[in-house]
Amino acid sequence: MSNEFNEMPELNVGDTVTGTVVKVEEKQVLVDIGYKTEGIVPISELSSLHVDLPSDVVSEGDTVTLQVKKVTDDEVVLSKKAVDAEIAWKDLEEKFNNKEVFETVVKEVVKGGLVVDVGVRGFIPASLVETYYVEDFSDYKGKTLDVIVEELDRSQNRVILSHRAVVEMELEKKKQELLDSLEEGQVIEGTVQRLTSFGAFVDIGGIDGLVHISQLAHHHVEKASDVVSEGETIKVEVLSVDKENERISLSHKATLPGPWTNISEKVSAGDVLEGTVKRLVSFGAFVELFPGVEGLVHISQIANRHIGTPSEVLEVDQKVNVKVLDVNEEEERISLSIKELEKEQEQQEVQSYEKQDDHSGFQLGDVIGDQLDKYKQ
């Protein structure tokens, strides 16, 4: 028997040994390490994280690598977390230096962030969990997250991880792929993110492009909100891409039917329409008939009398009735006349007067005839 003890390996504090779990108790684990007595792993030495039951960490029959913490004639105290920590720190240092992305499982949700087990206790501050604000992290317990090591300090036992950085890297990668794939003239769908005084920013898949207010519609737009709203999905055409500055110019107007499309089906020569004077020029006045569709009233067609400038008769934003003289859809031109309507109105007034004169007038012969009839009697 004494020979067997003499053959027992000598154990010293700090040694690393391998053994088999023979019993899992409520507060400790017994391990056969080939020594004269079974080694004891207290529950506090099983993991760097809080452990409720040893059975949550190991099971009977498991092979484990442990570090000797204490040796006496009666007992050998061992630590699993010390070995795990040594391996973990080396692994974490390598991941930190290489900016490696790896998976970890959230073990606890605590005030200020999330606790994970990476061989040692790791912490993800609330600000480094997502790219957006999270009010309640309770759903994160048990969730697997991709992370990188943000900060590492072994002397302080400090391991700070970030999931947000991984998300941002993925978004940046997608952004670059999108920038490389965009071409001028390409039509895509996007979501309106923000409205400004000069247009709308549209998310086209991880990057925002600008639809200038002049590119929102074919007609004049006072406010972007008159045409689109935040959260709305719209079609846009790519006008230009500045990859270096990550600027994308878009047009919503280019994806919409033009205001002149099938205009000849809406307007024909001879039609009388109401319009609004939009511009006065030396040779006439441009009158808006439909949003984005203007016709020209030549100066010679403004009034029945001679005028030197259109402003003698008309003013901007004035409502006027016009007669369509000609429609050229191909060249997007409509010729209009105000004078023609005035002529027609005058003719109608003359005709109306003549009709009234015919009905209300009398014949001289009728009067004389009536008087002669009296004398005959």
Q: Indicate whether 177 belongs to any domain.
A: no
Report whether 121 contacts 49 (CB < 8 A): yes
pLDDT reported for residue 140: 96
Q: What is the rounded distance in angstroms from the CA atom of residue 160 to the CA atom of residue 16?
A: 28
Same-domain status, 207 and 246? yes
pLDDT in tens, the chain (377 residues): 444 445 566 888 999 999 999 999 999 999 999 888 899 999 999 987 788 899 999 999 999 999 999 998 889 999 998 898 888 999 999 999 999 999 999 999 999 999 998 988 999 999 999 999 999 999 999 999 999 999 999 999 899 999 999 999 998 898 889 999 999 999 999 999 999 999 999 999 889 999 999 999 988 899 999 999 999 999 999 999 998 888 999 999 999 988 888 898 889 999 999 999 999 999 999 999 998 899 999 999 999 899 999 999 999 999 999 999 999 988 999 999 999 988 877 776 666 666 665 555 545 455 555 555 555 55
Same-domain status, 16 and 75? yes
Same-domain status, 152 and 187? no
Q: Indicate whether 371 belongs to any domain.
A: no
Q: What is the rounded distance in angstroms from the CA atom of residue 75 to the CA atom of residue 267?
A: 103
Residue 108 sits in a domain whose CATH number is: 2.40.50.140
Same-domain status, 135 and 206? no
Tell the residue number behind the tokens 């056969």, with chain if given: 32
What's the number of CA atoms in the CB half-sphere (13 Å) around residue 267? Answer: 27
Structure-block tokens of residue 77: 């105290």
Q: Residue 333: which domain range?
A: 263-341
Same-domain status, 75 and 103? no
Q: Indicate whether 369 belongs to any domain.
A: no
Q: What is the rounded distance in angstroms from the CA atom of residue 80 to the CA atom of residue 88?
A: 12
Distances from the Cα of 116 to the Cα of 65, 141, 142, 143, 281, angstroms: 22, 9, 9, 10, 74
pLDDT reported for residue 371: 55
pLDDT reported for residue 167: 95
Contacts of residue 111, Cβ cutoff 8 Å, sequence gap at least 6:
none
Q: What is the rounded distance in angstroms from the CA atom of residue 161 to the CA atom of residue 302?
A: 76
Tell the residue number behind the tokens 């609004």, with chain if given: 276
Give the other-Cβ count within 10 Å of 91's Cβ.
16
Q: Indicate whether 173 belongs to any domain.
A: no
What's the number of CA atoms in the CB half-sphere (13 Å) around residue 192? Answer: 21
Q: What is the rounded distance in angstroms from the CA atom of residue 142 to the CA atom of residue 181?
A: 37
DSSP class per residue in 80-100: HHHHHHHHHHHHHHHHHHHT-
Q: Indicate whether 358 belongs to any domain.
A: no
Q: What is the rounded distance in angstroms from the CA atom of residue 76 to the CA atom of residue 79?
A: 10
As a whole number of Å, the CA-based R_g of the chain is 45
Comparing CA positions, the residue from 81, 85, 75 lying closest to residue 36 is 75
Same-domain status, 281 and 224? no
Report whether 32 contacts 20 (CB < 8 A): yes
Q: What is the rounded distance in angstroms from the CA atom of residue 149 to the CA atom of residue 94?
A: 10
Q: Indicate whether 368 belongs to any domain.
A: no
pLDDT reported for residue 259: 85
How many structural domains are present in the chain? 4
Q: What is the rounded distance in angstroms from the CA atom of residue 293 to the CA atom of residue 315?
A: 19
Domain end, chosen from 83, 115, 131, is at: 83
Q: What is the rounded distance in angstroms from the CA atom of residue 146 to the CA atom of residue 141?
A: 14
Q: Indicate whether 62 belongs to any domain.
A: yes
DSSP character at residue 15:
-
pLDDT reported for residue 36: 85
Report whether 133 contacts 164 (CB < 8 A): no
Same-domain status, 66 and 130? no
What's the number of CA atoms in the CB half-sphere (13 Å) around residue 277? Answer: 21
Same-domain status, 78 and 120? no
Contacts of residue 148, Cβ cutoff 8 Å, sequence gap at least 6:
95, 99, 100, 101, 102, 161, 162, 165, 166
Domain end, chosen from 122, 144, 167, is at: 167
Q: What is the rounded distance in angstroms from the CA atom of residue 272 to the CA atom of residue 68?
A: 102
Domain end, chosen from 255, 285, 310, is at: 255
